[in-house]
Amino acid sequence: MSREQLREIGRHGERTYPHECCGLLLGTYDERQARVMEVWPAENAWDESAAVQFEEVEDWNTQERRYTIAPELMLAAQKTARHRQWRILGIYHSHPNHEAVPSECDRQWAWPEYYYLIVSVRDGVAGDSRCWRLDEDHRFQGVPLQLDSAGDA
């Protein structure tokens, strides 16, 4: 992923603060590495109807602590990725006033094929970003985030 893409995600988190931001990471993948080609910001679609679908989630049932991406956007991203011979590599979201560490809710609803990038946004300013992926025991493990200078001005 480029430094500019990471900055774009941080700016998204700052714009939506104190709510969680969310979006998709599209790109290529081979046995050695995943390469983010495009960041797809999404509107946080968490609302009362989304909360009903995740009825096991009891606490912090607001956009300040939860996010979801509309199925229509996921479908559009899948079509775009397939057309470009890419794939959806993962999902990013922010943690307002919390560390860039997955919550138990994040773990419960995560898909094992995706990377999860979390940016911490404290008092409206983006800070630490960390990448995660589920292991075979459905536990998040940190993944080194390699940044290149593509797209830097």
pLDDT value, residue 64: 73
Q: Distances in Å between the alpha carbon of 114 and those of 2, 29, 87, 91, 125?
A: 18, 11, 10, 7, 26
pTM over 0.75: yes
Q: 């956007």: which residue's tokens?
A: 73
Cβ pair 140, 118 in contact under 8 A: no
Amino acid identity at 61 = N
Which contiguous run of DSSP H or E holds residue 15? helix 3-16
**pLDDT 10s digits, 38-52:** 999 999 988 776 666
**pLDDT 10s digits, 99-125:** 999 998 899 889 999 999 999 999 999
Q: How confident is the model at residue 59 (pLDDT cuts 50, 70, 90)?
A: low
pLDDT value, residue 108: 87
Give the DSSP per-residue string, 67-129: ----HHHHHHHHHHHHHTT-EEEEEEEEEETS-SS--HHHHHH--TTSEEEEEEEETTEEEEE
